[in-house]
């Protein structure tokens, strides 16, 4: 019997591990495909569905990398857990921004982007039979890490009525008995909600009572509006006893493609993250670490300017929304807006209409979990002029009359 298929290629059987069939669908891959299809057809698509910063990395950071790339020291393998100078820069930034003290050697782990750490924490803390508490709606890559760990998820609804904060009292006792890890994310993706210090105080008490590790995703920690600075989980007394915080340079410094992030907090969890990474990576290129340290320790005016830019975009966008009768709550943080869809439509249906008839791409809320149904997420990641134009195009569809 021949082992050659009709295409003339050997039909050698490839049998992947069962876990590959358990991974969640990458919902937004289809969104990208749909946008690209309309662009290829010659349409001018205003893409508000993405989460990719649109501004370049500040010049002084780029220049630091250019200079560091010529340093022969960085042409060798970096120290497994990263250079001490980057850890010290991270500690300095948290001290100045949040008045949080950290030990650079034992309470800091350098990551290959925030996503990597958010996947790793599930693999480190969870095994088959364990439960992870996950926000709904929430960042879909939390689901990926839990799936790779072979664990289960229990969703914590985030509702507008509760300011998009989870209600810990609503979690079933049988779930709490098996829960070992919990993800939180403020400023929130996708809802753009922020969390007060009192919420984190309740979280620390809850985590201690039920012995649940807290993973605080602080990716948008630098982006707060109306003079309000987002609160770090680590500002809460006792936070380092129960969890870690993940921070990325992607949003703060427009360094998404550089893949620089870090985990901070509980010493044992940091040790475990470093241990796992010892088996997978040999740290970041030294030149990138040098540039990251420059970003963290240099004058932070570029961050202030970026936040001001997003706030100005937000204001322009909501000014146009008001004109077409699309009522929504303006974001307090992040660079996202969370907007209700017209009555009688699903988030997918509404997103499809906007793309096909107005050539405006938005992210349907269902892609962030069942709790996201009834909303779409838009990113403030294009110019004020394009944001205004996007709303004007949508207004011509008379969906909010």
Domain-embedded: residue 330:
yes
Domain-embedded: residue 17:
no
Per residue in 339-382, pLDDT tens?
A: 999 999 999 999 999 999 999 999 999 999 999 999 999 999 99
Residues 180 and 321 in one domain: no
- Quick check: 400 pLDDT over 80? yes
Residue 21 has what pLDDT?
Answer: 84
Helix axes 301-324, 384-395, angle to 10 degrees: 20
Indicate which CATH number applies to the domain containing 344. Answer: 3.90.1150.10
Residues 121 and 187 in one domain: yes
Residues 246 and 280 in one domain: yes
Residues 213 and 254 in one domain: yes
Residue 255 has what pLDDT?
Answer: 96
Domain-embedded: residue 5:
no
Helix axes 141-149, 114-125, angle to 10 degrees: 30
Last residue of a domain, one of 245, 268, 297: 297
Domain-embedded: residue 10:
no
- Over residues 232-253, the mean pLDDT reads 97
Last residue of a domain, one of 297, 328, 344: 297
Q: How many domains does the chain have?
A: 2
Residues 235 and 354 in one domain: no
Domain-embedded: residue 13:
no
Residues 322 and 276 in one domain: no
Per residue in 29-76, pLDDT tens?
A: 778 888 899 899 999 999 999 889 999 999 999 999 999 999 999 999
Residues 131 and 162 in one domain: yes
Indicate which CATH number applies to the domain containing 204. Answer: 3.40.640.10
Residues 175 and 307 in one domain: no
Domain-embedded: residue 401:
no
Domain-embedded: residue 11:
no
Banded pLDDT at 329 (limits 50, 70, 90) = very high
Residues 309 and 291 in one domain: no
- Quick check: 1 pLDDT over 70? no
pLDDT over 70 for what percent of the chain?
Answer: 97
Residue 10 has what pLDDT?
Answer: 63
Residue 3 has what pLDDT?
Answer: 58
Banded pLDDT at 282 (limits 50, 70, 90) = confident
Per residue in 160-170, pLDDT tens?
A: 999 999 999 99
- Quick check: 11 pLDDT over 90? no
- Quick check: 25 pLDDT over 80? no
Parent domain of 334: 23-52+302-395
Residues 339 and 381 in one domain: yes
Domain-embedded: residue 227:
yes
Residues 118 and 249 in one domain: yes
Last residue of a domain, one of 297, 327, 362: 297
- Quick check: 4 pLDDT over 80? no
Residues 121 and 44 in one domain: no
Residue 9 has what pLDDT?
Answer: 62
């Amino acid at each position: 019997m021949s082992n050659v298929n009709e295409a003339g290629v050997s039909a050698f059987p490839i049998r992947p591990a069962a876990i590959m069939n358990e991974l969640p669908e990458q919902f937004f891959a289809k969104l990208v495909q749909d946008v690209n299809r309309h662009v290829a057809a010659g349409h001018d698509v205003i893409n508000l569905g993405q989460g990719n910063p649109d501004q370049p990395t500040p010049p002084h950071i780029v220049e630091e990398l250019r200079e560091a790339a010529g340093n022969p020291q960085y042409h060798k393998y970096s120290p497994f857990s990263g250079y001490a100078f980057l850890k010290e820069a991270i500690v300095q930034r948290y001290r100045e921004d949040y008045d949080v003290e950290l030990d650079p050697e034992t309470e800091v782990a350098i990551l290959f982007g925030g996503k990597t750490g958010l996947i790793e924490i599930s693999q480190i803390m969870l095994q088959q039979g364990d439960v992870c508490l996950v926000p709904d709606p929430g960042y879909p890559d939390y689901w990926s890490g839990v799936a790779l760990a072979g664990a289960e998820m229990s969703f914590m609804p985030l509702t507008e009525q509760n300011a998009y904060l989870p209600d810990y009292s609503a979690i079933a006792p049988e779930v709490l008995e098996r829960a070992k890890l919990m993800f939180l994310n403020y400023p929130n993706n996708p809802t753009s909600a922020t969390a007060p210090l009192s919420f984190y105080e309740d979280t620390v008490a809850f985590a201690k009572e039920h012995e649940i590790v807290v993973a605080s995703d602080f990716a948008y920690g630098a982006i707060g509006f109306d003079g309000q600075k987002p609160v770090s989980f680590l500002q809460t007394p006792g936070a380092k006893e129960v969890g870690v915080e993940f921070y990325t340079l992607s949003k703060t410094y427009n360094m998404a493609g550089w893949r620089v992030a870090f985990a901070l907090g509980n010493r044992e969890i940091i040790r475990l993250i470093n241990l796992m990474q010892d088996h997978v990576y040999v740290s970041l290129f030294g030149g990138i670490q040098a540039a990251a340290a420059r970003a963290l320790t240099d004058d932070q005016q570029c961050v202030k300017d970026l936040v001001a830019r997003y706030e100005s975009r937000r204001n322009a966008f909501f000014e146009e929304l008001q004109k077409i009768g699309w009522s929504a709550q303006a974001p307090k943080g992040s660079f996202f807006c969370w907007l209700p869809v017209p009555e009688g439509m699903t988030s997918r249906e509404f997103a499809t209409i906007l793309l096909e008839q107005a050539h405006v791409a938005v992210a349907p809320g269902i892609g962030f979990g069942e709790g996201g149904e009834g909303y779409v997420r838009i990113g403030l990641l294009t110019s004020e002029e394009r944001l205004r134009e996007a709303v004007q195009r949508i207004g011509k569809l008379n969906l909010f009359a």
